[in-house]
A and B are shown apart, each in its own frame.
Chain A
Amino acid sequence: MAELEYDDAKIAGILERTETIAMVGASGNWVRPSHFAMKYLQSKGYRVIPVNPGEAGATLLGETVYGDLAAIPDDFQMVDIFRNSNAAGRMTDQVVAIKNKGIEVIWMQLGVRNDAAAKRAEAAGLTVIMNRCPKIEFGRLYGELGWSGVNSRIISAKRPRLHSRIGRRAVSRHG
């Protein structure tokens, strides 16, 4: 299977446009990767709505957990999938069926990839990112990932704007 490659501009555009993310497989167990990602994305100003049938009705990091995507009353632009690749395929078809909620992007987490499902979603006009983590990509594109010695592949002699996105997000969310 060929390695997936996405333009930095494409990923940055998604992270820029998205306001609300439905996170499928968000976990109340605070050492799970999905919990880390949810908390991090919240700190960057995104609203993250947790979806987890096993925890439906509970409150997770200040948000109500829904049993499935269709039950979410609000609009969301991205579905972030923390499930295995087969389950991600079924989830993708469900997203295609309910995409009038304003959904633009299906994002499958690190290690999750379903090319056939991605094709179906793309045919329905959705953007699909697979085998990536929005937390890691946000950190990479906005300069935080290098703090952990990760090769961001970003090279620029421009002076970075300090917390530009974070500030804007924080204002739009809280103000």
Chain B
Amino acid sequence: MADRGKHQTAFGFETRAIHAGARPEPVTGARNTPIYQTTSYVFEDAEHAADLFNLSRFGFLYSRITNPTISVLEERVASLENGRAAVAAATGHAAQFLTFFTLLEPGDEFVSSRNLYGGSLTQFGLSFKKLGWTCHFVDGTDPEYFRRAITPKTKALFLEVLANPGGIIIDLEKVVEIGREAGIPVIVDNTMASPYLHQPLDWGADIVIHSTTKYLSGHGTSMGGVVVESGKFDWTQGGKFPSLTEPEPAYHGLTFYETFGDFGFTTKVRAVALRDFGPSQAPMNAFLTITGIETLHLRMERHVANAQIVAEFLEGHGRVAWVSYAGLKSSPYRALAQKYLPKGPGAVFTFGVKGGFDAGVAMVEAVELFSHLANVGDTRSLIIHPASTTHRQLNEEQLLAAGAGPDVIRLSVGLESVDDLIRDLDQALG
């Protein structure tokens, strides 16, 4: 029969970036993934409807929970991360919220590296507090700090291996070891690296989160987030995760881990957190992101090649005080970069202009080709002064800790002609 599964030797990354999750549409033969711009799906009969509501069969019910275009995005990212399953959300922030809602009970804690995207620092440190969840921030550059911050209420460890914005790399294997000993999952925000440069699950992480808004979509068109689970974490250990191992009252006492096994976590995220809070992704955004992912490998190669050239140029510039890019020989993170990101340590990095805060502001206003805005991972080159924008909610101590001090400029190096990028930065530095 035509669609019998054959044993597949593992397909390469590039093949999966283009094909994973997206077979031709069976009714029409449409080769590209259709945009299923529909809210809902007609039931075959009352029994079919009941089975879908009860999760006893696979199928589409309501686009807040599942949508065929979004399913393609989910399976594709799960495949690229070598994960078992994924669930998409409206944004990366929504993906983080859904993940922690599924893991934590009120009064629970988690430990996070403080070398994070500024928006995550605010979400974890301020907004989550209102829900009764406590995040302890630690200096992730020494993984031992994670261990010291763990209490009996700690349910997860969180980090960005390639940290935003600072060119810092966290030693994931050591954090994974600490997570294993404590019996808690290690969650990696892999947005800055993309699965082409780094695959956290292969190093033992348990959950990966993406803001697909960045490199996965890649063209600055679409907001989106995704949660991927490895399928390897044992949720029964220590009785720490009742949300996975105890009967769920919202589903008549269904137990998610027992019923869905190695995709129990993402199923719970979808069936309860996504259903009840509703931050689902738009099908159009999923379509644009799927299209973006098809060239992820090509784009990332050029992103890191351009970033290396730009970083080397800036390091040699007289008006630049320092450059923090793990691809430079001067970087203390170069060895970790070669270990965890052998194809290149991303294309977002920071540098300091001589003259502090005012010089930083002057620089972002003087560029012509770099776009001054709050995003990363676009085809276009982007520039921002974090202290006056993305990280401005933080106090000075937090700014320094996050690698976003007053003189810091963050670049997201795009895919333009690299000579043009250098000329623009050169004239802006004066």
Interface of A toward B, CB cutoff 8 Å: 7-12, 16, 30-31, 33, 35-36, 39-40, 43, 110-111, 133, 136, 139-162, 164-165
Contact = CB atoms under 8 A, between A and B. Distances in A.
A33 B4 contact: no
Nearest to B31: A157
B181 to A, nearest CB: 21
Q: Which 3 pairs from chain A and chain B are nearest by CB? A: A149-B74, A8-B5, A7-B7
Given A136-B261, A150-B85, A9 B6 contact: yes
Contacts of B5: 8-9, 11-12, 140-142, 152, 154
Contacts of A145: 58
A155 B20 contact: yes
A9 B8 CA distance: 9
Q: Main SS of the interface on chain B? A: loop
Contact of B58 (A110, A139, A141): A139
A99 to B, nearest CB: 26
Contacts of B83: 151
A139 B75 CA distance: 14
9 contacts: A7-B7, A36-B55, A110-B262, A147-B59, A149-B78, A149-B266, A153-B79, A155-B11, A160-B3
Nearest to A137: B5
Contacts of B24: 157-160
Contacts of B87: 149
A110 B84 CA distance: 15
Given A110-B261, A159-B29, A160-B2, A148 B58 contact: yes
A92 to B, nearest CB: 21
Nearest to B24: A159
Contact of B270 (A136, A141, A148, A165): A148
Given A139-B58, A149-B86, A164-B2, 5 more contacts: A141-B5, A147-B59, A148-B66, A151-B83, A152-B21
Interface string B302-315: 00000000000000
Nearest to A156: B23
B19 A151 contact: no
Given A133-B261, A136-B261, A149 B4 contact: no
A133 B263 CA distance: 12
Contacts of B31: 157
A39 B3 contact: no
B26 A160 contact: yes
B344 interface: no
B395 interface: no
Contacts of A140: 5
A39 B58 contact: no
Contacts of A111: 258, 261
Contacts of A164: 1-3
Contacts of A141: 3-5
A39 B57 contact: yes
A40 B86 contact: no
Contacts of A9: 4-7
Nearest to A139: B58
Interface in B64-81: 66, 68, 71-72, 74-75, 78-79
